Amino acid sequence: MTLDSRSASKGLLLLAVLLASGAVALHWPGHMSMDTSIQLYEASIGKSVGWQPPFTSALMKWLGGGEAATGRIVLLCSLLTYGALGCVAAVVLRNRAAPGDRRIAVWRVTLCALLLLNPVIFVYVGIVWKDVLFSSVLTAAAALSFAAAVLPPRRGLALSLAAAVLLPIAMQVRQQGVFMAPVLLLLPIVAIVGSRGWSRWRQVLGALALASVFLVSLSVTRALVASAITEAGDKSSTVGFRSIMSFDIAGTVARSDTKTEALHVPISEAQRAAVRRVYTSRNVDYLASDPLVWEWLDTFTEEQRKEAWLDLIRHEPVAYFGHKWDVYRSVLTLNGLRSCLPLHIGVNGNSDYLRVVGIAERRDARDRAVYALASAFFGLPLYRHWFYVLALLGAAVAMAVVPLPSRLKAMCAVVALASALFYLSYLPTAIACDFRYLYGGIPLVTVLWIVLLAGGSLRQSPASTVPKISSAPSP
Q: Which amino acid is at 318?
A: V
Which candidate, 316, 320, 345, 342, places its Cα nearest to that of 330?
Answer: 342
Q: Provide the 3-class DSSP secondary structure of residue 58.
A: helix
- Give the domain ranges of the chain: 2-233+347-455, 239-322
pLDDT for the residue numbered 463: 36
Per-residue pLDDT of the chain (475 residues; tens, 9 = 90+): 888 888 999 999 999 999 999 999 999 999 999 999 999 999 999 999 988 899 999 999 999 999 999 999 999 999 999 999 999 999 999 887 666 667 888 999 999 999 999 999 999 999 999 999 999 999 999 999 999 998 887 888 899 999 999 999 999 999 899 999 999 999 999 988 865 666 778 778 888 999 999 999 999 999 999 999 998 877 666 778 889 999 999 999 999 999 999 998 999 999 999 999 999 988 898 998 999 999 999 999 999 999 999 999 999 999 999 999 999 999 998 878 877 888 999 999 999 999 999 999 999 999 999 999 999 999 999 999 999 999 999 999 999 888 888 889 999 999 999 999 999 999 999 888 889 999 999 999 999 999 999 987 644 433 333 444 544 433 3
Which amino acid type is present at position 140? A
Enumerate residues 6+ apart whose C-beta is below 8 A from 380.
none
Return phi, psi of residue 273, to 5°.
-60, -40
Query: Assign residue 468 a region: left if phi > 0, alpha if psi is -120 to 50, beta otherwise?
Result: beta
Q: What are phi and psi of 418, to 5 degrees?
A: -60, -40
DSSP letter string over 72-137?
A: HHHHHHHHHHHHHHHHHHHHHHHHHHTTT--EEEHHHHHHHHHHHT-HHHHHHTTB--HHHHHHHH
The reported pLDDT for the residue numbered 391 is 97
Distance of CA 204 to the CA centre of its chain: 30
pTM above 0.75, yes or no: yes
- Cα–Cα nearest to 172, from 248, 244, 228: 228
pLDDT digit string, tens, across residues 149-200: 988 878 888 999 999 999 999 999 998 999 999 999 999 999 888 656 667 7
- Exposed e or buried b for every residue in 338-369, given b needs 16+ CB within 10 A? eebebbbbbbbbbeebbeebebeeeeeeebee
Q: Is residue 330 within 8 Å of 251, Cβ to Cβ?
A: no
Q: How far apart are CA 386 and CA 103, in angstroms?
A: 34
Closest listed residue to residue 225, CA positions, set 294, 172, 165:
172
Three-class SS state of 2: strand
The residues that bridge with 4 in the sheet, in sequence order, are 103
Alpha helices in 118-199 (DSSP H): 119-124, 130-150, 153-173, 177-184, 186-193
Amino acid 197: pLDDT:
65
CA–CA dist 26, 367 (Å, integer)? 9
> What pLDDT does 59 receive?
97
Torsion of CA 311, 313, 317, 321, to 10 degrees: 160
The pLDDT value given to residue 194: 66
Rounded to an integer, what distance in angstroms lies between the CA atom of residue 22 and that of residue 15? 10
- Closest alpha carbon to 382 in 452, 442, 453, 454: 442
Taking a C-beta distance cutoff of 8 angstroms, is the pair 287, 294 a contact? yes
pLDDT at site 475: 34
Helix (H) or strand (E) holding 3: strand 2-4
